[in-house]
Chain A
Amino acid sequence: MENNAQILDEFLLEAQEIFDQLDLDLVRLEKEPQDQKLLASIFRAMHTLKGSSGFFAFQRLEKVAHAGESLLTKLREGVLQLDPQKTDALLATLDSLRDIVRGIAEGRAEPVGDDTALLTRLGALTEGRPWLDAAPAPGQEAQDTQAAPGQTALPAPHVGDLQLQDAARHTELMAPVKISIESLDKLMDLVSEMVLARNRLLSFANHSGDANFSSTVRTIDLITLELQERMMKTRMQPIGNLWSKFPRLVRDLAQECGKKVQLIQIGAETELDRALLEGIRDPLIHIIRNSVDHGIETPQRRLELGKPETGSITLRSKHENGMVVIEITDDGGGVNLALVANTALQKGLVTQDRLTRMADREIIDFIYLPGFSTKESITKLSGRGVGMDVVRTNVQQIGGSVEVATSALGTELRLRIPLTLAIMPAVFVQCASQRFAIPQNNLLEMIRFDPTDARLEDFYGVPVFRLRNTLIPLVYLGETLGLEPHGDHADDTIHIVVVQASGLVFGLVVDKVLFMQEVVVKSAGPLLKNTSIYSGATILGDGHVAMIFDVSGIAKRSGLASTLRDKDFQSELASPAAPVQNTQSMLLFDLVQMPRVAIALDYVDRLEMFSIHRVEQRGHQDVIIYGDQIMKIIWLSDYLENGSMRGTGDCDTINVIVHYHQGQPLGLVVKHIHDIVEIGSEIVLILPPQKGIIGSSIHGDQVVSILNVEEILRLSEVEHPLMAKQADSLEVNSGLSLETVFA
């Protein structure tokens, strides 16, 4: 309803403009009756008016405009020549139209009135007959048409009252002023500059002890803030302006697909920057197409499913945390995850193995990949495979994001769009002593990475680090920008800014994270248009220029984007890692028949090498005198290799990993000690479970078994390893075993 009122207001304004122009044009035409261009323009104006009247079903208006148009047609075709009589009639028509519109503006409905005289007059002139009656005075006609519904009961107003009312009405209609987009943009630029100058001033005020100065600055700060907000508001347009085209779109699409679909719009009054409005047009159209074509089922199918025959698509928009959220919900069949998974498999985007471990959320993400379409047949509407990737790219280009939720009951897409593009928060980083800005909407988190805490790993040639359960590939900014030579950075403490763009999460390695600030985005000029790693430039508080990154451009530039696309990497990165600890430093060692076993470094207190002759027996426990303590010796082979090999080989020295357990040293005997390595947090459990081993992990390209130290310790306390094996004759067996080794 509110929407209709708005449309009516727009019509009234438009009509007002047309009248003003017609006034001028008709007078001009009288002087230059041969001016065809002018005549054509008058004709068009009258025609527009007639069309709009028809739309609102304003019959009087339409009839009068039509009659005027008919006369103008004859004039335009050259059948009739303009003479003062006709000009008068046209001007009278104009006055009459103006009065009707005035009545509409007041009563929100077409006023009652009789236009027969005017219509007859126009009709006669159009047929080429002269009109003999004197034209009625415009004022008189105005009074005739004053018979608006709300006014009929009132006595005829005095002329003075009329004028007063006229004035009031006029101000009502005159209120909006048309401003060219250019001057609005220029104003916005100036306000943006003002914001920057304010920032500079604020930093002064912070350092000055002058209270008066500070409070003045504070006032300027508040005024600037309001100025900025109001300025931004002037660029805002209700999203309904865009949505108004969609009912027709849905109707046509539904008809083409043989479906019944209704479109519900909620929050059409939500405003956003007109540039952004333009930016979301195509994505929205695409999403709606998808919903009608893929989402909503055929009426028959819907009835079978117990859904209402007519499907609905709901557009809902609202402001949320300084962003505009647009939700597009349909009550269709949802995204067919099995089909998506299957298509992904067929296209070789994923392995069966990986697929079985993927969550629904991750499977949905496939629809964002370029060229991905599950539609078996390409319809006119959708299914060409340029779909969600374009939607996502477009939305991300204007700093927004897309989320999908789907079930058999429908699909919901959620777009989050910033309110404006001109000013945005950004984090400044330093790289090779230059400053750059990273848009905050690309920013996930900032990390100081100390290589003594964890190590960088290498994944298909891309350096990666572990952030909780996810592998994050790294891009060395200095290298990508060509500011620093490629080199080995493994040992430096680095600052990582974790960013996301185009569905890719990666870490930008920078020298320093400087500060966060609102920046005014400016064009970097025509010569940098092809340099895709920048989205623009901005001027800092100190007057220097800083470049603003286009994060997805950096991913492309660094080669990361293509590397990740080639590999199973991306799904690897996104895979829900088993709920395990973070990357761990581990000591890698061999047993006789079991190479590459790793023990968490936490358990390794010292590494020792002993002569085998130092091993003594206390009861059935092997020990070594270690300093002034007695160290219990645990032959790991006994637990992991069933004691078949005690693993010293021909040597008469043993390698021992010393671990202090409750203050007492324990010696774990291994065959060979390799090195300390970083073992990933994704540990694969072995089935059936193997005694003393937590599971396996991959290091480099080899499988590593992870030692379950706690289990070994527990076992070594309660029982002798071989007792558990052959419980029938404990003493004998253990004795035997020991003797065989020492024989």
Chain B
Amino acid sequence: MTSTHSYATFYVDDFYFGIPSATVVELTNATTITPVPMAPVAVSGLINLRGQIVTAIDLRRRLGIPPQPEPNETITVFMNHGGIMFGLVIDKISDILELDPQQFDKPPSHLPTAAADLIIGFHKLPDKLMFVLDVDKLIYGCLG
């Protein structure tokens, strides 16, 4: 078990993504996000997480995917990156997966450009691919 990698997985559009589960602190729905005019495009706003101000990153915008046609509730995954909290706004949460690093592969070449930069690789699952996001790039790449 110690040799497996643990991922928190979720969906944005039809893409199935994972981030290291150790970084994930909590997830909520129906959070109020205060939009911030003139902020970087992918920053959808700020969230008050129990007195802490957290930057929310809209993964659709970050990945260059058009907004949901009928947006239901906002799901935010809160994660700690380098001691700072960030919120990732996603479409749908999925499971925590324990995967064998042996099955990890470099990213395929046919991904949309915006997404390709942010993916360090993928795991081939029985029925689908799970893309592993480069969290640091995902966050600080917002600054352009």
Contact = CB atoms under 8 A, between A and B. Distances in A.
Interface of A: 193, 196, 434, 481-483, 522-528, 530-531, 533-534, 537, 539, 543-547, 557
Contacts of B129: none
B48 interface: yes
B113 to A, nearest CB: 21
Given A434-B35, A524-B53, A531-B40, 18 more contacts: A481-B38, A482-B37, A482-B38, A524-B36, A525-B55, A525-B84, A527-B39, A527-B57, A527-B142, A530-B40, A531-B36, A534-B36, A544-B32, A545-B34, A545-B45, A545-B53, A547-B36, A557-B38
Interface string B119-144: 00000000000000000000110110
Nearest to B43: A527
Most buried by A among B47, B51, B140: B51
B84 A526 contact: yes
A3 B40 CA distance: 51
Contacts of A522: 53
B63 interface: no
B53 A547 contact: no
Interface of A is mostly: mixed
20 contacts: A434-B35, A481-B37, A483-B37, A523-B53, A524-B53, A524-B55, A525-B53, A525-B54, A525-B86, A526-B84, A528-B39, A533-B38, A534-B36, A543-B32, A544-B32, A544-B48, A545-B34, A545-B47, A545-B48, A547-B34
Interface string B8-37: 000000000000000000000000101111
Contact of B48 (A525, A526, A543): A543
Contacts of B142: 527
B115 interface: no
Contact of A527 (B32, B37, B40, B47): B40
Contacts of A523: 53
Contacts of B143: 527, 530
A395 B40 CA distance: 29
Interface string B67-97: 0000000000000000010100000000000
Contact of B34 (A526, A544, A557): A544
B135 to A, nearest CB: 13
Contacts of B46: 524-525, 537, 545, 547
A630 B54 CA distance: 78
Contacts of A527: 39-40, 43, 55, 57, 139-140, 142-143
Contact of A434 (B37, B40, B57): B37
A523 B46 CA distance: 11
A482 B39 CA distance: 11
The 5 closest A-B pairs by CB, nearest first: A481-B37, A525-B55, A545-B34, A545-B46, A527-B55
A736 to B, nearest CB: 73
A722 to B, nearest CB: 66
Contacts of B38: 481-482, 531, 533, 557
Contacts of A526: 55, 84, 140
Nearest to A193: B51
Contacts of A525: 46, 53-55, 84, 86
Interface of B: 32, 34-40, 43, 45-48, 51, 53-55, 57, 84, 86, 139-140, 142-143
A546 B55 contact: no
A527 B84 CA distance: 11
Contacts of A544: 32, 34, 48
B34 to A, nearest CB: 4
A149 to B, nearest CB: 54
A369 B63 CA distance: 44
Nearest to B81: A526
Nearest to B34: A545
A523 B37 CA distance: 16
A500 to B, nearest CB: 21
Nearest to A436: B37
A534 B45 CA distance: 13
A525 B78 CA distance: 14
A298 B5 CA distance: 75
Contact of A528 (B36, B48, B51): B36
A568 to B, nearest CB: 30
A182 to B, nearest CB: 12
Given A525-B54, A527-B55, A539 B36 contact: no
Contacts of B51: 193, 196, 539
A546 B34 contact: yes
A528 B47 contact: no
B139 to A, nearest CB: 7
Contacts of A483: 37
A434 B48 CA distance: 16
Nearest to A197: B51
A294 B75 CA distance: 62
Contacts of B55: 524-528
A533 B43 CA distance: 15
Contacts of A547: 34, 36, 46
Nearest to A532: B38
A525 B43 CA distance: 11
A511 to B, nearest CB: 14
A195 to B, nearest CB: 12
B10 to A, nearest CB: 20
B48 A531 contact: no
Most buried by A among B32, B36, B40, B139: B36
A434 B54 CA distance: 18
A483 B37 CA distance: 7
A435 B51 CA distance: 18
B32 A528 contact: no
B96 to A, nearest CB: 27
Nearest to B52: A522
Nearest to B55: A525
A463 B134 CA distance: 47
A537 B45 CA distance: 11
A531 B142 CA distance: 12
Nearest to B57: A527
A720 B58 CA distance: 81
Contacts of B32: 543-544
A530 B86 CA distance: 17
A522 B49 CA distance: 13
A523 B84 CA distance: 11
